[in-house]
Structure 1
Amino acid sequence: MDSADEKVVAVILVAGPSKGTRFRPLSFNTPEPLFPLAGQPMVHHHISACKNIPNLVQVFLIGYYEEREFALYSSSVSNELKVPVRYLKEDKPHGSAGSLYYFRDRIMEETPSHIFLLNFDVCCNFPLPEMLEAHKAYGGIGTLLVIKVSAESASQFGELVADPASQELLHYTEKPETFVSNLINCGIYVFTPNIFSVIQEVYRLREEKAYTRNIPNYESQQFATRSLPTDFVRLDQDILSPLAGKKQLYTYETTEFWEQIKTPGMSIKCSALYLSQFRSTSPHLLASGDGNRSASVVGDVYVHPSARVHPTAKIGPNVSISANVRIAPGVRLKNCIVLDDVEIMENAVVVNAIVGWKSSLGRWSRVQADGDYDTKLGITILGESVTVEDEVVVINSIVLPNKVLNLSMQEEIIL
């Protein structure tokens, strides 16, 4: 096929409500993929990156959230980025590879030559055009984006071994108990349509095993209790591991930033990474100010156009301020995300925190944390409609929605 005739589609796996528990209380009313990082929904950064793929014809969001939760966003992002975005709802979880296969007919409607697959909960610079070029040169079924991490953290991810000359994937193990390699899977792939035949073969083998388990003996019954549903196929264990070393899968290594958003704290870190990237990709999104006619801005900061920030406030580095936020005189914000319709009154301080929608911080209040993004109480989180009264200090705490705090607190979870 001539490159001018090629078509590419992108699939972004957005999971569903049962996978959002780690993001509570922020995921109570907003799907985790739509939580804003650097002023844009988490999945928006993926879609923006997909727009740079040559010959892109469609972006699919696949998950098991209700369709109404993504309908408005899919329509607005399609209009904004001028790329068709469509949400496809699963009837139940099918696994990362199973989700792709479940909607294979929709995905193949445009007869694409290549299919990108991205997980919504990763943050990186998304070198998708470069991946596609490398994938074409390799000539395999699929190419994985990979990155080197510290040996201590590698076991939290899928570890792999690749041929240093050909970049062929030789070995893959998901979260191994013993160290294999500091080269890990980034959760971003490009495949040819042949991937559907590979997944179909996994289904066939599963069905055969399910048939043999109907034999009424003790051993087969024990096996049945440990097995997955026949229509649940994981990309890592069921596809990558068996195909490794068979000249079917290859790797493309990135040396830029990459993180997995496992906790709300990581959203602050990833917001900083995206804000930094805006310097070269979208400088118009970054705020500026010297404290005269507008607030003092330090480092990379996003301020929604509808927000009202007093000129005596000091903002940054790494601050994202959402729509209709009101910032009073003397306020100090640093390393934080302030969500829609928040009011922060005179001389309040917010550091290493997420302030939930419609919350209110009183005069001289402080909402802060030590900034350890990997720990549960490493940042302070205020859920939706939380009121912090004047002069109250909240440190390293999580507060569920609709609470009124009139006493200072440290390292607490307010239910």
Structure 2
Amino acid sequence: MENSEEEKVVAVIMVGGPTKGTRFRPLSFNTPKPLFPLAGQPMVHHPISACKRIPNLAQIFLIGFYEEREFALYVSSISNELKVPVRYLKEDKPHGSAGGLYYFRDLILEDNPSHIFLLNCDVCCNFPLPDMLEAHKGYGGMGTMLVIKVSAESAYQFGELVADPITKELLHYTEKPETFVSDLINCGVYIFTPEIFTAIQDVSTHREDRANLRRVSSFEALQSATSRTLPTDFVRLDQDILSPLAGKKQLYTYETMDFWEQIKTPGMSLRCSALYLAQFRLTSPHLLAGGDGNKSATIIGDVYVHPSAKVHPTAKIGPNVSISANVRVGAGVRLISCIILDDVEIKENAVVMHSIVGWKSSIGKWSRVQADGDYNAKLGITILGEAVTVEDEVVVINSIVLPNKTLNVSVQEEIIL
């Protein structure tokens, strides 16, 4: 009993805010991006339920700039469901990824945790948190970061790093480098000891000292060169903490061999929904639908159907389909690789593929809403915003349709404002 008393762990999930996530429009107009459903669960639900597997987890904090009311309902229901306190903490202004942590340090440390997990909400992976904790304890450093190997061509988009192949120590770290450094990148999942707060404090103090030095110094040149410095309470995890501490036997890496993606665009959310649905086969098979076309619809591959949705037995659904609450799917409908949001109606013999259909939208008989399925291209998937009506026999290909539009003619490669 002694041991479990002293070894408490807390988790912090960074959820960003409405100023971020502009690439997620038109889906982020009426729902904060972290609550957008992937595989039928809010995006933030996946890291939260992964935290539930951490031994001796005391509580989970979500930190962001959204209004508290936007998260209140979700936070209370998930706390009840997981039997772990989940609290949303609203920043007064941006403090940077490390500064935000520091701003709420008293709350984060109130349980005297021995370890603090820090996760980014817009990351999709299998979150191997218990294994990472074991590795971190073995390394004996201040922090351990999850890393993954990616193709040399795509590495520049992320934080690249060099680690010692034997000890796994982080030797060098650069955020989005100009030239190729390494094919190992930062996954945005960390574990720290409470010493991280001292390290963040040191950055702020150092900045204040430099600012004070500038005030008393009469060197004009010095002043102009450094007057653009950041506010003392704005501390970035990557540039201000990870880069300077690399190679000092403080930070270590844990490599995942599983999947990892960043959810920056609606296209990537469709890809990540597929990854999470596949993950459910291992972690939560009860969430996946089944059906053979007799009493219920024919299901192919991994599909999530909300219990309140009504799907006609002659429909054929999957793979990679997620159907939200109160959706009505008519006879003969075919759905492939799509996210259907709440209160959508899809009428007889319509086809939807590689698309996201917004809340309260309606798709007419014999209509097609489709795209090529290139998740990285701007129009690689079709997106219907909230309350879009596609009339009977209309075809919508590789397009984005903003909310409250009615389409009575076919469109291709268009953004309909």
Normalization by structure 2: what TM-score?
0.98
Give the corresponding residue for 1:82.
83
Percent sequence identity is: 80
Structure 1 CA distance, aligned partners of 2:377 and 2:204? 39
Partner of 2:125: 124
Cα distance in 1, alignment partners of residues 146 and 380 from structure 2: 29
Q: Work out the CA distance in 2 between the residues paired with 1:121 and 1:389.
A: 34
TM-fit CA distance, 1:216: 6.4
Q: Residues 40-95 of structure 1, C-alpha deviation per residue, up to 9 Å, x if partnerless?
A: 00000111000000000000000010000011100000011111100000001111
Partner residue in 2 for 1:222:
224
Match of 1:271 among 266, 270, 273: 273
In 1, the alpha carbon distance for the partners of 2:221 and 2:74 equals 49
* TM-superposed deviation, 1:2: 3.5
Q: 1:143, CA displacement in angstroms?
A: 0.2
Q: Which amino acid aligns with 1:174?
A: E
How far off its partner does 1:224 sit? 4.5
For the pair 1:362 / 2:394, whether they are aligned, the reply is no
Per the alignment, residue 392 of structure 1 pairs with: 394
Equivalent positions of 1:246-325 (< 5 A) are: 246-325=248-327
Question: Residues 202-240 of structure 1, C-alpha deviation per residue, up to 9 Å, x if partnerless?
Answer: 001111222234456543453355322221110000000
Equivalent in the alignment of 1:42: 43
SS at match of 1:378: coil
CA contact (8 A) 2:136 2:252 kept: yes
Name the structure 1 match of 2:169. Answer: 168
For each residue in 1:240-288, what CA deviation from the matched residue of structure 2 results, as whole angstroms up to 9, or x when unmatched?
A: 0000000000000000011011111000110001100111111110001
1:19 partner SS: coil
Q: In the alignment, is the contact (CA less than 8 A) between 2:6 and 2:114 conserved in 1?
A: no
Q: Alpha carbons of 1:216 and 1:305: their partners in 2 closer, same or farther (altered >3 Å)?
A: farther
Distance 1:227 1:204 in 2: 13
With normalisation by structure 1, the TM-score equals 0.98
CA distance in 2, matches of 1:391, 1:52: 48
| Cα distance in 1, alignment partners of residues 214 and 75 from structure 2 | 43
Residue 230 of structure 1 aligns to a residue whose secondary structure is coil
Per-residue Cα deviation, 1:77-127 (whole angstroms, up to 9, x for no partner): 001111110000000111100000000000001110000000000000000
Code of the aligned partner of 1:352: H
**Superposed counterparts of 1:368-379, under 5 Å:** 368-379=370-381
- Output one character per residue of 1:133-192: Cα deviation in whole Å (capped at 9) or x when no partner: 110110000000000010001111000010111100000011101001000000000000
Deviation string for 1:302-355 (max 9, x for gaps)? Answer: 000000000110000000000000000011100000000000001111000000
Structure 2 contact 123–260 (Cα < 8 Å) conserved: yes
Distance 1:397 1:370 in 2: 10
Change (3 A) 1:360 1:221: farther
Question: Using the alignment, how far apart are the partners of 1:266 and 1:242 within structure 2?
Answer: 32
Matches within 5 A, 1:115-194: 115-194=116-195
Determine helix, strand or coil for the equivalent of 2:290. coil
1:376 to partner: Cα distance: 1.1
Distance 2:92 2:33 in 1: 19
**Residue 4 (structure 1) shift:** 5.1
2: CA distance, partners of 1:224 / 1:244: 24
Give 1:99's aligned residue: 100
What are the superposed Cα offsets for residues 12-50 of structure 1, whole Å, 9 maximum, x if unpaired?
000100002010000001000000000000000111000
The alpha-carbon distance between structure 1 residues 342 and 109, as it changes in their structure 2 partners (threshold 3 A), is same
Q: Structure 1's 2 and 234: CA in aligned 2 closer, same or farther, altered over 3 A?
A: same
Letter in 2 for 1:232: F
* Greater mean deviation of Cα atoms: 224-233 or 22-31: 224-233
* Further displaced range: 371-380 or 302-311: 371-380
Matched position secondary structure for 1:17: coil
- 1:206 aligns with 207
Note if 1:405 corresponds to 2:407.
yes
In structure 2, C-alpha distance between the alignment counterparts of 1:104 and 1:147, rounded to whole Å: 29
User: What is the aligned partner in structure 2 of residue 338 from structure 1?
Assistant: 340
Gaps of 5+ in 2: none
Q: Residue 165 of structure 1 aligns to which amino acid in structure 2? A: I
Task: Report how many residues are paired.
Answer: 415
> Aligned with 2:113: secondary structure?
coil
Which amino acid in structure 2 is aligned with residue 349 of structure 1? V
Gap change, CA 1:330 and 1:212, over 3 Å in 2: same
2:200 partner SS: helix
The CA RMSD over aligned residues, in Å, is 1.2
Q: Secondary structure at the match of 2:238?
A: helix
- In the alignment, the residues of structure 1 paired with residue 88 and residue 180 of structure 2 have an alpha-carbon distance, to the nearest angstrom, of 38
Distance across 1 between alignment mates of 2:267 and 2:85: 32
**What is the rounded CA distance, in whole Å, between the counterparts of 1:27 and 1:2 in structure 2?**
44
